[in-house]
C-alpha cells in the first residue's frame, strides 16, 4: 500500500530583504542627519528630535511588517485528509483537517472583482459545512493560481486513494476453486 503525502507551504511575499532594510534605514538616517544639521546651524535645534522620532516611526512600521511576514500556512494532502495548519507570527498554530474525498476548493467570487470595489477573491476549502480560507494574506494576482494548485493537490491525493483501493489486495476475488 503506497502512502501519498504532498505538502505546500504558503507565506506572504516581502520584497525588501534584511540587507535592503538596513540600507533604507541608513539612507534615511543620513538624510535626517543632513536636514537636522541644517536646522541646528540655523538655531532650530528642536527639529532634530522630530527627525529622530520620524526615523523611529519608520523603523517600527518596518518591524511590524516583517513580524506579519512570519505568518505561514502549511497544507498537507494525504489520500485520507487535507490538513491545513495556520501558524501566526507569534508561532501559535491552529490545525483544520478535512477529508480529501469531500474537500471542495472554491474561488469566491468566481470572477475577478473590479479594483475600485476593493473586494478580494478568496480561496476557500469546504467540507461537511465547514469552510477554511487559504492564502488570505497573498497578493490578489496570486489567488487564482493558488486555487488551481490546491485543487490539483487534492485531485492527486484522491487519485492516490483510488489507486490504493485498486491495489493487489483489493483486486483479488475470494472465489473457491
Task: Going residue by residue through the chain, which has 177 residues, state the pLDDT in tens, using 9 for 90 and above.
Answer: 447 899 999 998 888 888 999 999 999 999 999 999 999 999 998 999 999 999 999 999 999 988 888 899 999 999 899 999 999 999 899 999 999 889 999 998 777 766 666 678 899 999 988 999 999 888 888 888 999 999 999 999 998 888 866 655 444 444 444
Q: Which CATH number do you get for residue 96?
A: 2.30.29
Compute the distance between CA of residue 74 and CA of residue 83 in angstroms, rounded to an integer.
8
| Domains held by the chain: number | 2
pLDDT score, position 54 = 95
Q: Do 79 and 160 meet the contact criterion of CB atoms below 8 Å apart?
A: yes
Sequence-separated (6 or more) residues with CB below 8 Å from residue 51? 32, 35, 36
Same domain membership, residue 99 and residue 26: no
Same domain membership, residue 108 and residue 54: no
Give me the phi and psi of 109, to 5 degrees please: -65, 155
pLDDT score, position 22 = 94
pLDDT score, position 113 = 64
Give me the phi and psi of 44, to 5 degrees please: -100, 60
Query: Could you give the dihedral angle defined by the CA atoms of residues 64, 65, 70 and 74, in that order, rounded to the nearest 10 degrees?
Result: 130
Nine cell digits for residue 55 = 526615523
Compute the distance between CA of residue 12 and CA of residue 66 in angstroms, rounded to an integer.
10
Same domain membership, residue 92 and residue 50: no
Q: Do 9 and 149 meet the contact criterion of CB atoms below 8 Å apart?
A: no
The domain of 96 spans: 5-12+71-168
- Burial environment of residue 109 by CB neighbours within 10 A (0 to 12, 13 to 18, 19 or more): exposed
Compute the distance between CA of residue 122 and CA of residue 137 in angstroms, rounded to an integer.
10
What b/e sequence results for 84-93 when a residue is b if at least 16 CB atoms lie within 10 Å of its CB, and e otherwise? bebbeeeeee
Same domain membership, residue 62 and residue 86: no
Same domain membership, residue 62 and residue 92: no
Residue 40 maps to a domain: yes
Amino acid at each position: 500500500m503506497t502512502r501519498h503525502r504532498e505538502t505546500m507551504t504558503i507565506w506572504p511575499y516581502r520584497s525588501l530583504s534584511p540587507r535592503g532594510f538596513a540600507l533604507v534605514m541608513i539612507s534615511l538616517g543620513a538624510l535626517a542627519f543632513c536636514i537636522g544639521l541644517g536646522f541646528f546651524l540655523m538655531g532650530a535645534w528642536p527639529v532634530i528630535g522630530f527627525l529622530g522620532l520620524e526615523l523611529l516611526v519608520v523603523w517600527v512600521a518596518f518591524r511590524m511588517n516583517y513580524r506579519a511576514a512570519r505568518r505561514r500556512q502549511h497544507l498537507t494532502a494525504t489520500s485520507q485528509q487535507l490538513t491545513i495548519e495556520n501558524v501566526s507570527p507569534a508561532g501559535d498554530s491552529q490545525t483544520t483537517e478535512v477529508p480529501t474525498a469531500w474537500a471542495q476548493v472554491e474561488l469566491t467570487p468566481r470572477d475577478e472583482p473590479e479594483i475600485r470595489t476593493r473586494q478580494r477573491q478568496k480561496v476557500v476549502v469546504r467540507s461537511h459545512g465547514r469552510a477554511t480560507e487559504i492564502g488570505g494574506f497573498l497578493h490578489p494576482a496570486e489567488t487564482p493560481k493558488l486555487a488551481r494548485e490546491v485543487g490539483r493537490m487534492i485531485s492527486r491525493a484522491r487519485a492516490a486513494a483510488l489507486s490504493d483501493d485498486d491495489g493487489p489486495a483489493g483486486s483479488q476475488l475470494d472465489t473457491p476453486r
